[in-house]
Amino acid sequence: MAPTNEIESLQKGSIYCMLQPLIRSKKQLDEYYSRLQQNANTAENRKCKRCKIEYKVEMESKGVPKPLDENNLCKFHSCRVIFNKFPDEYYYACCNSNFNAHTNFGRKIKPCTTHNYHISENPAFFKNGIVSSASSRGSNKVVYALECELCATVNGYECCRVTLVDEEDKVVYESLVKPEGFIIDYKTEFSGITKEIMENGPCKSLKEVQNDLLKFIKEDTILMGYGINDELTSLKLHHDMLINTVIIETRRRHPFKRNSVRDVAENLVLERMHHEIRRKNEKDNSSACLSWRIFKTIFN
């Protein structure tokens, strides 16, 4: 494993060049995810992202959805499924329920979380107001790690805070973003965002944030992030030099293969990245993402 000082000593230009083979366009990443999930939602008829129930959006007043009845709350697991190499099983990170038992033995695992709103995406909302880095004049051949904190609104997951971190782990841009839709869940346990934080501000409109970001993000800039295409969707920003660490992280070695030094090192970095993400600090999150990508590039 390369010493930390060797990684830190890499020149900006070399990092930019090394990452070239890993770049994908927004279209390529969207096509990858479209194979995993089909979205047939409309403005009124939706499928909840959390509990997978199909439902109809009902409004109490303009822009404000009607809460669910107490007997029909949204029931779900709040964290994703995590893989544990030993004893070779999957489990829910939120409650440690064994996912293998649920899928292989037909046991129904009771969801550990409830909410008075379903969460789903209104596709039409995210197709309007899109800006592209292709329209941003100039050149900026650098690598940025992009991190967006998302809150759930009636439109789906909208960006409520954005952070851009450079190759030296310095925050070059950060701002709270005022969502356009009514907020139904701040997702504080993941985003660190609360109602008070949003109300106290200062918050910028999405349009203002788009204009700010395009001062840094040019057509030849590399953006990386954990689910980077989702980040850009929430920002309504089109860019075609992307590295999505989700896809790279999901590559798994054979579970029965003896771990090499590289395997152990990669697991340590992955563990560090997840730890940083849970700290709910956008700089640490993006920095961890960048460190992870540099590490994988060096050792692959």
The string of pLDDT tens digits covering residues 68-113 is: 998 999 999 888 777 766 666 777 878 877 776 555 444 567 888 9
Cis peptide before 179 (omega within 30 of 0): no
Rounded-to-integer distance, Cα 187 and Cα 29, Å: 25
| Residues contacting 79, CB < 8 A, separation 6+ | 92, 93, 94
Q: Which two tokens stand for residue 291?
A: 């460190």
Rounded Cα gap, residues 272 and 267, in angstroms = 9
Angle between helices 228-235 and 206-213 (to 10 degrees): 120
Residues 103, 224: Cα–Cα separation, whole Å: 33
Q: Is the pLDDT of residue 265 over 60?
A: no
User: pTM surpassing 0.85?
Assistant: no
Locus of tokens 């030094």:
261
pLDDT in tens, 203-233: 999 999 999 999 999 999 999 888 888 889 9
Domain boundaries, the chain: 4-36+123-299, 45-115
Token code pair at residue 14: 């070399």
pLDDT confidence of residue 256: 35
Q: Which amino acid is at 87?
A: P
Give the chain's end-to-end CA distance (angstroms, integer): 12
Neighbours of 145 (CB within 10 A): 29
98 strand-pairing partners:
91
When the pLDDT of each residue in the chain is averaged and rounded to a whole number, the result is: 77
> In the prediction, which pLDDT does 267 show?
52
Q: Which residue has the higher pLDDT, 278 or 98?
A: 98
* Reported confidence tier of residue 281, pLDDT bands at 50, 70, 90: low
Say what the pLDDT of residue 196 is: 94
* 201 Rama sector, left if φ>0, alpha if ψ -120 to 50, beta otherwise: left
The span from the CA of 153 to the CA of 242, in Å, is 26
CATH domain 4-36+123-299 topology: Nucleotidyltransferase; domain 5 (3.30.420)
Q: Are 19 and 223 in contact (CB under 8 A)?
A: no
Residue 268 CB: number of other CB atoms within 10 A? 12
Model confidence at 235: pLDDT above 70: yes
193 and 199 Cβ atoms separated by less than 8 Å: no
Task: Please give the DSSP secondary-structure letter assigned to residue 250.
Answer: T
Residue 107's φ and ψ, nearest 5 degrees, are -75, 135
Provide the pLDDT for residue 162: 95
Least trusted range by pLDDT, from 110-114, 151-155, 191-195, 264-268: 264-268
